[in-house]
Amino acid sequence: MSLSALSARLFPTIRSQAVARMAAPASFARFYATKKYTAEHEWILIDNGVGTIGITDHAQSALGEIVFAELAELKDVEKGDTIGSVESVKAASDIYAPISGKVIEVNEKLNDEPALLNDAPETDGWLCKIELSSEDEIKDLLDEEAYKQFCEEAH
């Protein structure tokens, strides 16, 4: 599945807003959503100035059964801030903001169904959405190829 298709499937509302904004001189002119990764094993799908964040499939598989997710607070965050955690029986792992901005939405479903983080880490198990304060930080993130390589090298 292409990233744009993934985005359209996951975030239909945002997509339609994106289309609407395209008509006007948008400050975030990106049309296709961009999926990036971090060395903390998180993914961020950036679409029209909003980044949806989650943990990678590699991360969930290494963590094992996730039984609790502490969700982010709706507030401004700096890149690198702790914005919650995911926990298995044996350990807690912090979630770090991959990018600066404002947390505008969290995936409340995870309160009742933390297993979504294992079953669908890169789709229904998303953690939160951050409205980017600057696009400059995007260039520091890893693309899919670089992340794959990072995971392989770490082995």
Residue 116 sits at φ, ψ, to 5 deg, of -60, -30
Check residue 63 for interaction with other proteins (CB under 8 A).
yes
Site string for other proteins, 43-62 (x = CB under 8 A): ------------x---x--x
Check residue 155 for interaction with other proteins (CB under 8 A).
yes
**Nearest residue to 70 (alpha-carbon basis) of 119, 28, 103, 25:** 103
Residue 58 sits at φ, ψ, to 5 deg, of -60, -40
Question: d(Cα 109, Cα 115) in Å, to the nearest integer?
Answer: 10
CB 108 within 8 A of CB 124: no
Among 9, 12, 20, 64, binds other proteins (CB under 8 A): 64
Among 22, 67, 74, 146, binds other proteins (CB under 8 A): 67
Check residue 113 for interaction with other proteins (CB under 8 A).
no
Check residue 95 for interaction with other proteins (CB under 8 A).
yes
Among 41, 47, 49, 72, binds other proteins (CB under 8 A): 41
Q: Give the side-chain half-sphere CA count within 13 A for 126.
A: 19
Binding piece for other proteins, criterion CB under 8 A, among 21-29, 43-51, 67-75, 131-139: 67-75
Q: Which is nearer to other proteins, 49 or 51 (CB)?
A: 51
Q: Which is nearer to other proteins, 19 or 154 (CB)?
A: 154
Check residue 106 for interaction with other proteins (CB under 8 A).
no
**Which positions touch other proteins (CB under 8 A)?**
38-42, 55, 59, 62-65, 67-68, 70, 82, 85-96, 154-155
